[in-house]
Amino acid sequence: MHDRDAVYIGGEWVAPTTAARTPVENPATGQVIGQVPEVGPADVDRAVAAARAAFGGWSATGRAERAAALAGLRDGLAARRDELAALITAEMGAPARVASGLQVGLPLQVLDGYLSLLAGPDPEPERIGGSLVLREPAGVVGAITPWNYPVHQAVAKIAPALAAGCTVVLKPSELAPLSAFLLTEVIDRAGLPPGVFNLVPGTGPVAGEALAGHPDLDLISFTGSTRGGRRVAAVAAGTVKRVRLELGGKSANVLLPDADHAVAVKVGVANCYLNTGQTCTALSRMLVHTSRYEEAVERAAEYAAGLPVGDPTDPKTRLGPLVSADQRDRVLSLLRAGVAEGARVATGGPDVAGLPEPGHYVAPTVLADVSPDGTLAQEEVFGPVLSVIPYRDEDDAVRIANHTRYGLTGGVWSADPDRALALARRLRTGQVDINGAGFNPLAPFGGYRQSGIGREHGPYGLAEYQEVKSIQLPDGR
């Protein structure tokens, strides 16, 4: 059992003020594998006070000291990579190869990116005419993170906040909090001054709202559902604090007729099913020209049907369970709604027999003839479900791709790089991958419209945790 009795406040593991505990379930077995404290507003108050007390000293440190702390965090995570990956697999069901390669590998890349930004001396202040423009730490940061990438999403907030000179209070998801405790152990050994980082596990309605609405917090950074983001923004508005949100997506992957469909379809299916489809950037709508549509549906169904589903600890497994019974039931409900609206099941579907028991599994599913206005084209499913949608020409593809309330990411495939780039420019999303190009941890990441506010990673991510001050110099000196 992975039981935890203390929370991390002011550089120490301390008893929470509440007796409540949250059980943590292994979604592959349905068994409870541990429990963690469920803090209340008083514990959030203690953590914010500790972060506020530590802010003055930490904000005055130079790049070298901040870089040393991030290097300690990176090295500590690397040293415990296998342990951390196994814990993530146990608490949220990520297949072992995804847990090690992505769930732990990605935050290591992000940390390396911020270390590269901190290399060298502090930059000279910017001069605009007779003014000196400074970038200063934003202050005390509240970070509320989701269950689908529990360590990566935490590091994506902690790393730039610390690099900017901010102090942090982290509230992880109650569905997958165990890895946050291991992350905190690593941070505790990284040499940060007491109070610079604090951990307050708990529920969204209690701990999350107490953090978002706290008057002594300067910035709240939330990753999760669009519904959750709306609530965080509403609560934070009462204190007029800065809010940054990384929310949902319903991203389109446009296959132009000249693309190598054998590669594009396979890579597109794999992208959609990454982390068992529980990924905000999943390219869950595959848009294919009518001349090659049935070919693409057949290829996608054949590839999806061959993906091993089962025990996430088995290295051969490609799709594990969904994180909870509620999440599985939500995905199945959306699938049934899509089929009722006329979607054609090419493989998988909501009623597949023989899936592993007793875990929360959904079969890898490919649906054809999905209406661009339908449920499966508009709602973020967050499971292994790919909708294949035909288009007539490039204008039609762009119209369909942009026809959602989201705008997180997208994909374009073409044998002509210039043609692909021209179409990518027309997609109203925060990022676009051309011909399967990989993730860049120094490039800005975030969304348009209801996919969020602000950016993560690299210099743009660092700027989210900074305030800008102009100093007007006498006589323009």
Q: Which residue has the tokens 């590998």?
A: 105
Q: Is the pTM value of this prediction over 0.85?
A: yes
Q: Are 63 and 121 in contact, with CB atoms under 8 Å apart?
A: yes
Name the token pair of 84: 């951390």
Apex 431 CA angle, 427 and 437, nearest 5: 110
Is the bond leading into 257 cis (omega within 30 degrees of zero)? no
Tokens, residue 256: 């132009």
Predicted local confidence at residue 477, as pLDDT: 63
Kind plus residue range of the DSSP H or E element containing 283: none
Q: Is 272 a catalytic residue?
A: no
CB 164, CB 132: distance < 8 Å: no
Domains of the chain: 7-247+450-471 (3.40.605.10), 252-444 (3.40.309.10)
Residue 475: its pLDDT value, please? 76
Does residue 126 carry a catalytic annotation? no
| Residues in the chain, pLDDT under 70 | 476-477
Residue 347: its H or E element: strand 344-347
Assess contact for 456 and 156: CB atoms under 8 A: yes
Q: What is the pLDDT of residue 124?
A: 85
Instruction: Give me the pLDDT at residue 406, please.
Output: 97
In this predicted model, what pLDDT tens digit does every residue of 199-243 receive, in sequence order?
Answer: 999 999 999 999 999 999 999 999 999 999 999 999 999 999 999
Distance CA 346, CA 369 (A): 10
Q: Of 174, 209, 272, 280, which residue is the catalytic one?
A: 280
Closest listed residue to residue 46, CA positions, set 18, 4, 5: 18
Burial environment of residue 291 by CB neighbours within 10 A (0 to 12, 13 to 18, 19 or more): exposed
* The pLDDT of residue 122: 79
Task: Please give, one letter per residue, the 3-state secondary structure of 31-96.
Answer: CEEEEEECCCHHHHHHHHHHHHHHHHHHHCCCHHHHHHHHHHHHHHHHHCHHHHHHHHHHHHCCCH
From 246, 379, 380, 456, the catalytic residue: 246
pLDDT of amino acid 476: 58
Read off φ and ψ for residue 235, nearest 5 degrees.
-65, -40
